[in-house]
Amino acid sequence: MIQRFVYETIDSTNGEAFRLADNKGANLAPFLVLTQKQTAGRGRAGRKWESEDDGLYFSIYLRPSVTIDKAAMLTLVMAVAVAKALQRYIAIQEQTCKQATDGCESSLQILQTLGIKWPNDLVLNGKKIVGILTELRTDDRGYGVVIGVGVNTNQKTFPEELQDKATSLKREMGIPILGEVLLKYIEEIFLQEYTTFEKEGNLVFLKETYETLLINKDKVVRVLDPKGEYQGVAKGIDEVGQLLVETQDKEVQKVYAGEVSVRGLYGYVD
């Protein structure tokens, strides 16, 4: 396990990770910041991440050996790690509660709907359950990366505007989630994949698994590019994690995450 800094409440685990690196020195890396609640949780492009009690909120601070242009791929590495950790969590739950209740069977069925909405969201039953935000900062010794993860574990409700978009694992599966156990699995799986990523410097090793989980695969997506919105069929990802979108004229566009969002034809996913 890597070193942990644990808080009851903090503004943002990503923000605190950068502050810790500044104050205590970047060679503290890798370390983890964990909190029960964020008062100013962030999404991409300055969007807000709801982080009330009953969720799992943490960030990992790293000093990757790969060049800075490759660091954005870590978002996809983390997305796969969280998905695999959830699958492991539910599989183990199922073994222990098989005889006790019939809730396990239904939670396993729901797990079949778990997927990644490119590039950084995990979706269950068509709704968002995990958000991931990767941020970078350069300094005189190179750069540091913070990967922030918010998992909707046990929330009962969400604000009105998120009713159609967000859900929690407990709401969908009917079983309470032990955040500490889930975090242990995520940390273990992520650090393993991160070691491979640092060696290889690309996502070839993860591409197949990522594409199996990619809910947009072979579906029509709307690419919300600030330079102009367009539609196409999502084919998968390339070796650096760009989404491959085949447009009507059979041209394949490579979508780089940056400021671009992808939606289903009618809504957030479909």
Residues that bind ligand ATP (CB under 6 A): 43-44, 47-50, 120-121, 128, 131, 150, 152, 162, 165-166, 261-262
Task: Spell out the alpha helix ranges (H) of the chain.
Answer: 13-24, 74-97, 103-111, 169-173, 179-200, 204-213
Q: How far is the CB of 161 from ligand ATP (least distance, A)?
A: 7
Residues 6+ apart with CB under 8 A from 80: 116, 193, 206, 209, 210, 213
Backbone angles phi, psi at 227, to 5 degrees: -85, -5
Instruction: Please identify, using beta-carbon distances, which residue of 162 and 191 lies nearer to ligand ATP.
Output: 162
Q: How far is the CB of 131 from ligand ATP (least distance, A)?
A: 5
Q: How far is the CB of 99 from ligand ATP (least distance, A)?
A: 33
By beta-carbon distance, which residue lies closest to ligand ATP?
43
Q: How many CB atoms lie within 10 A of CB 7?
A: 15
Q: How far is the CB of 60 from ligand ATP (least distance, A)?
A: 17
Instruction: Please identify, using beta-carbon distances, which residue of 50 and 246 lies nearer to ligand ATP.
Output: 50
Instruction: Please identify, using beta-carbon distances, which residue of 49 and 61 lies nearer to ligand ATP.
Output: 49
Instruction: Please identify, using beta-carbon distances, which residue of 107 and 120 lies nearer to ligand ATP.
Output: 120
Instruction: Please identify, using beta-carbon distances, which residue of 51 and 107 lies nearer to ligand ATP.
Output: 51
Residues 6+ apart with CB under 8 A from 12: 38, 40, 41, 42, 148
Q: How far is the CB of 94 from ligand ATP (least distance, A)?
A: 25
CA–CA distances in Å: residue 13 to residues 90, 165, 180, 238 = 26, 23, 16, 30
Distance CA 230, CA 126 (A): 22
